[in-house]
Chain A
Amino acid sequence: MEGQKQVLERLRGAFRSGVTLPVHFRLTQLEAMMSLFEDNETRIVEAMHEDLAKPKFEAVLSEIEMVVNDLCYTISNLQTWMQPTYVGTNLATKLDDCFVRREPLGVVLIIGAWNYPLQLILLPLIGAIAAGNCAILKPSEISRATEKLLAELIPKYLSQECYAVICGGAEETKTLLENRFDHIFYTGSQSVARCILQAAAVHLTPVTLELGGKCPCLIYGRLDMKAAAKRLVWAKFFNAGQSCVAPDYVLCTAETRDMLLPFMKEALESFYGSEPQQSQDLGRIVTDRHWDRLVELLKKSEGKIVIGGESDKKTKYIAPTVVVDVKESDALMQEEIFGPILPILTIKSLDEGIIFINEREKPLALYAFSDESQVVTTVLERTSSGGFCSNDGIVHMSLVGLPFGGVGASGMGNYHSRWGFETFSHKRGCMLRSWLLERVNVLRYPPYNESNLSWLRWATTAKKKGWAGCSVM
């Protein structure tokens, strides 16, 4: 079996041969990925069910559809994205061609995560392929069935010269990171991200880090309680709360909380029935270890459970749970929950909620629920986060036009559709100068004098919007 170094050398050789450069090659690979989905939907759904008890609905909507959507959009637009973009020039450079070429980086490493084991590795791969790179995929070993499926299907559908899957745990990933890549794309936790950045620094490898954090959900002012409750509950308990953009905790006044809770109970019942453990539509916690962590958090919490709280280790089940009277110092507020437990903290004013959010690390997503546009605008203007969505949760991720990524502790860089293409490209600034006007170039040559400098200044200053400023002709 090929070792990691051999795989890397093979891919580097393929990249150097130029095989990934033509648009036709890239489109063929993307279309092959499309066929992978068309031919294997059932197997994909089954694998994710095995890993996370992911309901078919969720597997199709949040994994298969997300990737297929991105594929279609990328296939339709790739030729346009690959065109050089011409930029404004000034008077002195009007005879020259100035443009930006988007070029592949080389061999990239994409490290996936277990919660959305397909889309978190294949969405970046779409960007990498579209941009003309070769890629090594390292799926999460925690979502074993999906890992195994990817290891089987990727070489079957995509070029084995250019794309490879390497499986393994922490040790294998550590060894992989000792190699030199042209970009590393990682989805996962902050602690591992630090190690990845340090490994990348050795080779000056640029990275994209899609991390997490506690995504706050501020609910304030006048609102449609029923709709708010449904959307909140859907976003929180999707994938049993194991989404990097799930609303982690709620901030609202006591009055809002008291009005919202009955609607939340109603929504949960309409989604999962009176006995959620029997519902086919609720996921499970990925491993015993993760289940233990969540149950421990709930035990340590000093809040009051008002919905749910039940759990069953054998099936890794935790009921959709809502906890109120949660304080800042509570166990539930010390780390990203990443499970079906929703703490509600009360605030007395919008200001208090915003200050609370700003005292913490910038989250990957921030939600504001209100029918008052002023409230939404205030929250948006006075906070920072990777992404923002008002009056709903998670769905901003599904829009191909929006970049998806974090800021500060929640990550760096972004992707999805065109953004993925840009992330995996080098934007090379190119200037094609004319041979003419050498007599004008004289202005910049020594021996220097005041008059030449004045002319240069005049000719090179950007005078109109969109014109380039040019410092030395």
Chain B
Amino acid sequence: MEKQVVDGLREVFQSGRSKPLQYRKQQLRALHRLITERQADIEQALKQDLNRNTYNTSLFELISIENDIKSAERDMADWAAPRSVKKNLNSALDDVYIKPEPLGVVLIIGTWNYPWAMILQPLVGAIAAGNAAVLKPSELSEHSARLVKELLPLYLDKDMYQVVTGGVPETQELLKQRFDHIFYTGSSTVGKLVMEAAARHLTPVTLELGGKSPCYVDKNCDIAVACRRITWGKFANCGQTCIAPDYILCEPSIQDRIVEEIQKTLLEFYQKDPKSSPDYCRIINTRHFDRVLALMNECTIALGGESDCSQCYIAPTVLKDVLPHFKIMQEEIFGPLLPIVTVNGLSEAINFINAREKPLALYVFSSDKTVIKRMLTETSSGGVTVNDVLMHYTIDTLPFGGVGNSGMGRYHGRHTFDQLSHHRACLIKSFAMESLNDARYPPLTAARLSKAKFFTQHRLCSCSGICVWAVIATLLAIGLLVALIVVLI
């Protein structure tokens, strides 16, 4: 079945249907109608999947999809236009440019924590770039998966974009097929399997993975504001965000203040009992609930810690004096537990971060520019937000993606378009100036070689020899002198 789906899409792609920009814009407008007209259904599905509320859904999923659609529609002509590049003397009369082209059929594998954004944002770029696409939503967010499968063919061209639902066996079957690009969001473990499967067909991949995103809070900063921002980013979606601040690094002297400020903020956000707050989500399923709960073992609970397995509810929890060897520091938490690990200053924090895999996001809170500069220049991560959390994700002019264990490739806005296009190098020559070409033809002579080198070089200064700028300047000076003489005469 999966093979038929892919073969069918490839045939339609090869017919050239998705080449005209008008077609692509039509599909994007249809996608926009899908998320606006069916917003209530989407919100309902997310409520059932994650106990997400209406505002959360718009805030964290729909607005970003809408913005990507709007940028794509508005800027597509620019993105898809040939991009001129530098020429040498030999190609002075030629057309030299890079032409973005669609790849073909792309596979987009979504994930359950933001089931709509993680599948539709890549789809926006795939459509804008002129590709056909297979969407494989995560089976863990089953209501959203079912709804995507139902709605997509009602709005988009079902011959070009299809949804395949199912679990591991269906995904494995899909991965046996040949795609022109695979875009996967999920865990590093499965990311390796996806890349291995892609290797069989030499298929390029974009992997948006995860990791432990560190959050360094310097003692020189507005701790109250820092904690409000961290609390927001950590506990939104019940901590199930790939770029949530995973753990805090700070000096021992400010640990208690941080706990105090987070406590104040939690009260403001979710009131006394977060369990009854309409704005607080749940863990996706019992397996993850058990996994996250077990991470609390060994730890000292500073705030929260309550849970209710019947609802997959875990309270917003802060753990203090966490040690590096604790289990909670060995894997990405992906839940509402915020460990604080104390370090003696910035250098120790940097060494701590660098001793671990490169994270998807890195956060630093400080009013001291040298602290920020050191953190930026001495560490590596997918992206960075300074003095806030999550926000670099939200600007679509910034490329979003991981590095090392946290992933490869990038997307959002134009970056998705570029990621899902082939940038074809084009040189359009005429038959004119054939005499110039004589320099490159055998038989070899020293004169021919000199001439060929001159016309193909890109440097104005031969790095060991004559400076052509000096020659040009001299010629200009002579020209001006001659002009002056003529005027005077």
Contact = CB atoms under 8 A, between A and B. Distances in A.
A147 B458 CA distance: 28
B402 to A, nearest CB: 9
A98 B428 CA distance: 37
Contacts of A385: 424
A88 B397 contact: yes
A434 B400 contact: no
B327 interface: no
B442 A57 contact: yes
B333 to A, nearest CB: 20
Contacts of A448: 53-56, 59, 279
Nearest to B421: A407
A402 B427 contact: yes
Given A201-B196, A430-B384, A87 B453 contact: no
Nearest to A197: B199
Given A98-B398, A400-B86, A429 B459 contact: no
Nearest to A369: B431
A272 interface: yes
B188 A446 contact: no
A472 B60 contact: yes
Contacts of B390: 472
Interface in B405-442: 405, 407-410, 413, 422-431, 434, 437, 440-442
Given A38-B464, A462-B70, A398 B456 contact: yes
A279 interface: yes
Interface in B366-419: 367, 372, 376-378, 380-388, 390-401, 403-405, 407-410, 413
A197 B195 contact: yes
Contact of B192 (A61, A201, A430): A201
Contacts of B171: none
Contacts of B180: 408
A285 B437 CA distance: 26
Nearest to B67: A469
B396 A462 contact: yes
Nearest to B426: A388
Contacts of B172: none
Contact of B392 (A72, A230, A400, A431): A431
Interface string A46-70: 0000000001110011000100110
A260 to B, nearest CB: 13
Contacts of B280: 446
Contact of B232 (A204, A389, A445): A445
Interface string A11-27: 00000101001000000
B202 A401 contact: no
Contacts of A444: 59, 232
Interface string B264-280: 00001111000001111
A137 interface: no
Interface in A432-461: 432-435, 438, 441, 444-450, 452-453, 456-457, 460-461
B87 A401 contact: yes
Interface residues of A, number: 123
A194 B202 contact: yes
Interface of A (DSSP majority class): mixed
Contacts of A462: 67, 70-71, 74, 396
A456 B63 CA distance: 9
B277 A87 contact: no
Interface stretch (B95-103, B132-140, B477-485): B95-103
Contacts of B383: 428-431
Interface string B173-208: 000000010000000100111011011101010010
B88 interface: yes
Given A198-B196, A446-B270, A72 B398 contact: no
B472 interface: no
B275 to A, nearest CB: 14
Contact of A465 (B74, B268, B394): B74
Interface string B223-264: 001001100100000000000000000000000000000000
Contacts of A211: 202
Contact of B425 (A68, A388, A470, A471): A388
B292 to A, nearest CB: 21
A412 interface: yes
A56 B269 CA distance: 75
A204 B195 contact: yes
B424 A384 contact: yes
A266 B68 CA distance: 57
Nearest to B193: A201
A444 B263 CA distance: 18
A413 B195 CA distance: 15
Contacts of B321: none
| Residue of B74, B277, B463 ringed by the most chain A CB atoms within 10 A | B463
Contacts of B452: 61
A376 B428 CA distance: 8
Nearest to A438: B225
B443 A428 contact: no
A193 interface: yes
B425 A384 contact: no
A380 B399 CA distance: 29
Nearest to A398: B456
A112 interface: no
A431 B192 contact: no
B411 to A, nearest CB: 11
Given A281-B443, A412-B204, A73 B96 contact: no
Contacts of B394: 460, 470-473
A267 to B, nearest CB: 8
A92 B482 CA distance: 58
A281 B442 contact: yes
Nearest to A57: B444
A408 B434 contact: no
B442 A395 contact: no
Interface string B39-75: 0000000000000011110111001101110110011
A71 B229 CA distance: 46
A271 B443 contact: yes
A105 B403 contact: yes
B14 interface: yes
Given A38-B464, A447-B269, A204 B404 contact: yes
A234 interface: yes
Interface stretch (A221-229, A251-259, A322-330, A334-342): A221-229
B67 to A, nearest CB: 3
A69 B67 contact: no
A89 B395 contact: yes
Contacts of B426: 380, 387-389, 396, 402
Most B CB contacts (10 A, CB to CB) among A76, A101, A211, A407 go to: A407
A188 B408 CA distance: 22
B85 interface: yes
A412 B75 CA distance: 26
Nearest to A431: B392
A101 to B, nearest CB: 7
A427 B399 contact: yes
Contact of B453 (A16, A65, A75, A281): A65
Contacts of B393: 471
Contact of B458 (A60, A72, A88, A224): A72
Contact of B428 (A73, A76, A384, A390): A390
A83 interface: no
A351 B425 CA distance: 23
Contacts of B340: none
Contacts of A389: 426-429
Given A279-B443, A401-B96, A388 B424 contact: yes
Rank and list the top 6 A-B pairs by shortest CB-CB distance, nearest first. Answer: A401-B85, A469-B67, A448-B55, A197-B199, A471-B64, A401-B86
28 contacts: A69-B456, A72-B458, A93-B395, A98-B397, A100-B398, A194-B199, A204-B405, A227-B437, A384-B101, A389-B428, A395-B90, A401-B85, A403-B98, A428-B381, A429-B382, A429-B384, A429-B400, A432-B372, A433-B387, A435-B225, A453-B55, A460-B394, A462-B70, A465-B75, A469-B70, A469-B395, A469-B413, A472-B59
